[in-house]
């Protein structure tokens, strides 16, 4: 469901997701993301960037969008992005206005 990869040289956390990010999956995912994010953010508070790769995601719920917003707020402006969106997922992010909060591609 989720795979995490940290690049120490670039202080970048890449999170790859797979499947449906519905309410149940997002609840578990929130814990997993927090467990990975907290120590990295503590070690690199001004440098850490986070990317969510949703290339293999087929559905996102509002709970998943809240995770995205939470991470974007925690790492700071310009250091969070979502990549690999198919047209249907990209439309969800755009309709929610999240393209104004972070980069969606």
| Alpha carbons 56 and 85: distance in angstroms, whole number | 9
Beta-bridge partners for 81: 51, 103
Number of domains in the chain: 1
pLDDT in tens, 13-66: 999 999 999 999 999 999 999 999 999 999 999 999 999 999 999 999 999 999
Which residue segment(s) compose the domain that 23 sits in?
A: 2-104
The domain spanning residue 69 has which CATH number? 3.30.750.24
What is the pLDDT confidence band of residue 77, given thresholds at 50, 70 and 90? confident
pTM for the whole thing?
0.95
């Amino acid at each position: 469901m989720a795979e995490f990869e940290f690049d120490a040289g670039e202080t970048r956390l890449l999170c790859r997701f797979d499947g449906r990010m519905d309410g149940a999956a997002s609840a578990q995912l929130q814990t997993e993301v927090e467990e990975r994010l907290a120590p990295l953010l503590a070690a690199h508070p001004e440098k850490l960037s986070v990317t969510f790769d949703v290339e293999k995601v087929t559905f996102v719920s509002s709970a998943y969008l809240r995770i995205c917003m939470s991470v974007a707020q925690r790492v700071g402006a310009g250091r969070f992005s979502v990549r690999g969106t198919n047209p249907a997922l990209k439309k969800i992010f755009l309709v929610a206005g999240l393209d104004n909060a972070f980069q969606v591609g």
